[in-house]
Amino acid sequence: MTDLAWIDAALVSARPQAVAALLRYFRDLDLAEEAYQDACLRALKNWPKNGPPRDPAAWLIMVGRNAAIDVTRRRAKQTELPDEDQISDLGDVEDAAAQRLDEADYRDDVLRLLFICCHPDLPATQQVALALRIVSGLSVPQIARAFLVGESAMEQRITRAKAKVAGAGVPFEAPNAVDRAERLASVAAMIYLVFNEGYSAADPASDRGSLCDEAIRLARLLLRMYPSEPEIMGLLALMLLQHARIAARFDADGNAVLLEDQDRKIWKRPLIQEGLALIDKAIRLRRPGSYQIQAAIAGLHARAQTAGETDWAEIDALYQALERLTPSPVITLNRAVAVAKLNGPQAALDLIAPLAERLAGYFYFHGARGAFLKELGRNSEAREAFNQAIALANTPAEAAHIRLHLDTLANSVKG
Amino acid sequence: MLYAILCYNDEATVFSWTKEEDAAVMDRLNVVHEKWEAKGKLKPSLRLLPTSAATTLRKKDNEVLDGPYAETKEQLLGFYIIEVDDLEEGLTFARELTAANPGGAYELRPIMLYNSGSPVKAR
């Protein structure tokens, strides 16, 4: 690896820790970010010359703090901090610095930084944008491209989010166990939002598609800090298992391919293995949760060598567990697909009939209902349901998929 | 002589390689693997999942810890490869080993890739 590639990788992986610690020192997001950027510039100059520091995050934190204090012209009043030339070699100074920043501080710092980004006052789109900017360090143009909006609109969105967070006050006290659990849950939800933004992209190689990788990276970071949290294992497993199907989810023309029609040979096995291993670990802890159950469902799909081998009875049972844990008509709708496989389309229709009012504006409800009706040979009702679905489609790919159903209905009438 | 070669690298870096970068490294490694396997000198080789997938059984109190074995007091003295239904069965095996040989720890790490290589000569 060249110097620059190595440094780039080290800076990217040290960023959340470094920005988080600098935020604790300065208690100001903008100042923390500037300090981190300053430290990165110095690293680019210094590291090729003096070799990599043993703990890049500790180096960046010290140098960043030093630089920011310098900038604010308060340096003279502070204790002299060592110059980065002195702390770049693998000497005692760095050890001392690393000791001052013990592991527990790091954990709470990074969690605080992630938690700030999912402040309840922020709408979901601002949470995700702020996290990608602050924690992941993506540039505003990169984020704008990922969200398919203009750069100035994204700049505004992030500025507004920062202002709101600053106004709301940042929680700097060390969280107690209850706070920590709540923060973890909000952070997990925010990371899954980032993932779903990427998952909805038709082109996995696009900026938007790369959000999946970023979400997985953030979940790995969280799991490294909280290695015994089954829901974080579940979240990472769920994303890995879904991401494993990425190459099979769209055909050459960019049309969505249904799970049962996907080429399972191009699913990424290493991601599946890791996902299954994490579920295996989580189950042992006997603290079930929504991400673990969703991951277990994805895991059953991943284990099936062909669509015909899918264990629908177990999937039905898992969806029932999910319904009990977090009742939602959308979960019942998903369960209906398993019920249709197990007990036929009529049973599925009966299950979703009570949802008609609540899901009247939901694309997937009409799509699934149309498919069940079509299977029962109730073609004119099916056509009506498919037309409602098309009217509610969010993307051209969704609409195109429903049109395929309508085409086969038209053909069966002709034939 | 039979040797075990233990592979160390920064997993955060390796597991953030793109699919293409990963495939390129594996292709280069496979050229070496094939050459040595043809000579009958490469035995089983394997690639492990990251430490986030690891579970550790601490032998002194039979405690199961989520994550890799992180102590530096002990040294790596050997390893087993097992094929089991799940982590629980793997831990059952490790506990039986513990009863036979207390002290230290066993880390259970899922295997991502397994190549059986050429058979080992009778010794």
Q: Considering the domain boundaries, does residue A341 fall inside one? A: no
Domain of A27, in residue numbers: 3-101
Contact A22, A64 (CB under 8 A): yes
With CB atoms and an 8 Å threshold, state whether A217 touches B110.
no
Rounded to 5°, angle at Cα A366 from A361 and A371: 170
Alpha-carbon distances, residue A171 vs A161, A180, A191, A290 (angstroms): 16, 12, 20, 27
Is residue A308 a part of any domain in this protein? no
Number of domains forming the structure of chain A: 2
End-to-end alpha carbon distance in chain B: 10
Pick the last residue of a domain from A83, A101, A119. Answer: A101
Write the pLDDT tens digit of every residue in A310-329. Answer: 999 999 999 999 999 999 99
Determine, yes or no, domain membership for A244.
Answer: no
**A285 part of a folded domain:** no
Q: Is A12 a residue whose pLDDT tops 90?
A: no
Task: Write a three-state SS string for chain A.
Answer: CCHHHHHHHHHHHHHHHHHHHHHHHHCCHHHHHHHHHHHHHHHHHHHHHHCCCCCHHHHHHHHHHHHHHHHCCCHHHCCCCCCHHHHCCCCHHHHHHHHHCCHHHHHHHHHHHHHHHCCCCCCHHHHHHHHHHHCCCCCHHHHHHHHCCCHHHHHHHHHHHHHHHHHHCCCCCCCCHHHHHHHHHHHHHHHHHHHHHHHCCCCCCCCCCCHHHHHHHHHHHHHHHCCCCHHHHHHHHHHHHHHCCHHHCECCCCCECCHHHCCHHHCCHHHHHHHHHHHHHHHHCCCCCHHHHHHHHHHHHHHCCCHHHCCHHHHHHHHHHHHHHCCCHHHHHHHHHHHHHHHCHHHHHHHHHHHCCCCCCCHHHHHHHHHHHHHCCCHHHHHHHHHHHHHHCCCHHHHHHHHHHHHHHHHHHHC
Ramachandran bin of A40, using left for φ above 0, alpha for ψ from -120 to 50, beta for the remaining angles: alpha
Q: Is the dihedral angle over the CA atoms A388, A389, A394, A395 positive or is it negative?
A: negative
pLDDT band at A215 (very low <50, low <70, confident <90, very high): very high
Beta carbons within 10 angstroms of residue A191's beta carbon: 28
How far is A176 from A113, CA to CA, in rounded Å?
Answer: 16
**Whether residues A24 and A120 fall in one domain:** no
Q: How close is the nearest chain A Cα to the Cα of B53, in Å?
A: 6
Structural domain boundaries in chain B: 11-115
Q: How far apart are CA A95 and CA A111, in angstroms?
A: 24
Check residue A91 and give its pLDDT. Answer: 45
Say whether both A13 and A39 belong to one domain.
yes
Instruction: Report DSSP state, residue B8.
Output: -
End-to-end CA distance of chain A, in Å?
62
Q: Are residues A115 and A136 in the same domain?
A: yes
Tokens of A376: 């029962």
CB contact under 8 A, B50 and A281: no
Two structure tokens written together for A196: 């779903």
Residues A157 and A93 in one domain: no
Q: Rounded to whole angstroms, how far apart are CA atoms A119 and A164?
A: 9
Q: So what's the pLDDT on residue A176?
A: 80
| Residues A108, A216 within the same domain | yes
Last residue of a domain, one of A101, A136, A165: A101
Minimal Cβ distance to B12: which of A13, A227, A277:
A13
Query: E strands along B8-86, which residues?
Result: 45-48, 55-58, 63-66
pLDDT for B123 equals: 63
Q: What confidence category does residue A224 fall into, taking pLDDT thresholds of 50, 70 and 90?
A: confident
Q: Can you tell me the distance from the alpha carbon of A203 to that of B6, in angstroms, rounded to the nearest whole number? A: 38
Q: Is residue A65 part of a domain?
A: yes
What dihedral do alpha carbons A274, A275, A277, A279 form, nearest 10°?
Answer: 160
Choice between A298 and B123, residue whose per-residue pLDDT is larger: A298
Euclidean distance between CA atoms A109 and A225, whole angstroms:
11
State which of A57, A76, A101 marks the end of a domain.
A101
A residues 204-263 lying closer than 8 A (beta carbon) to B: 213, 217, 220, 223-224, 227-228, 236
Residue A193 counted as domain residue: yes
Q: What is the pLDDT of residues A170-210, one digit of tens each?
A: 777 777 888 888 889 989 999 998 998 888 776 767 777 78
Find chain A residues with C-beta within 8 A of B52's C-beta. 220, 223-224, 227, 236, 274, 278
Indicate whether A187 belongs to any domain.
yes
Q: How is residue B92 written in tokens?
A: 């059952």
Residue of chain A with shortest Cα separation from B55: A281
pLDDT at A96 over 60: no
Q: Do A278 and B52 touch (CB under 8 A)?
A: yes
Predicted TM-score (pTM) of the model is 0.84
Cβ(B51)–Cβ(B11) under 8 Å?
A: yes
Q: B53 contacts in A (CB within 8 Å)?
A: 274, 277-278, 281
- Is pLDDT of A415 > 70? no
Mean per-residue pLDDT for A15-42?
90
Residue B99 parent element (H or E): helix B87-100
Strand order in the sheet with B63-66: B63-66, B55-58, B105-108
Same domain, A9 and A48: yes
Is the domain defined by B11-115 classed in CATH 3.30.70?
A: yes
Whole-Å CA distances, A141 to A86, A313, B69, B73:
36, 46, 41, 48
Q: In this predicted model, what pLDDT tens digit does every residue of A112-159 receive, in sequence order?
A: 888 888 888 888 888 889 999 988 888 899 888 888 889 999 999 999
- Strand pairing class (B55-58; B45-48): unpaired
**Cβ contact (<8 Å) for B86 and A217?**
no
Characterize A333-347 residue by residue with b for buried, 16 or more Cβ atoms within 10 angstroms of its Cβ, and e for exposed: bbbbbbbbbeeebee
Is residue B49 a contact partner of residue A298, using CB atoms and an 8 Å limit?
Answer: no
A76, pLDDT greater than 80? no
